[in-house]
Amino acid sequence: MSDVVVNQAHNVSADEAKKRIAGFEEMLTKYGVKVDWKGNTGTLKGTGVSGGIDIGPSNVKVEVKLGMMAKAIGVDATKLRGSIEKRLKAAFEAQG
């Protein structure tokens, strides 16, 4: 199993941070990954993918664990990390 961990600093409230990553969450659904929120913690679940999103007071942490199924269909952990970093950075710079 490969792990992809991305941290994005922010200087907004946790509620605002959650709103700003809505676009990232929408992108995940296109790949069959659902986010189940409980407070400021989201659990990621999909075929061959698991992980979570944690929204802290000054940081958003996204962790994606790629299982055998994701690897079998060619998910590249390095490209995935880059995509997540780009989307999170854009979410917090756009309105920052």
What CA–CA distance (Å, rounded) separates 35 from 89? Answer: 19
What CA–CA distance (Å, rounded) separates 36 from 83? Answer: 21
pLDDT tens-digit map of 4-60? 999 999 999 999 999 999 988 888 888 889 999 999 999 999 988 999 999 999 999
Containing 61, the helix (H) or strand (E) segment is strand 59-66
Is the distance from CB of 85 to CB of 21 less than 8 angstroms? no
Q: Give domain limits for the chain.
A: 2-93
pTM: 0.90
According to CATH, the topology of domain 2-93 is Alpha-D-Glucose-1,6-Bisphosphate; Chain A, domain 4 (3.30.530)
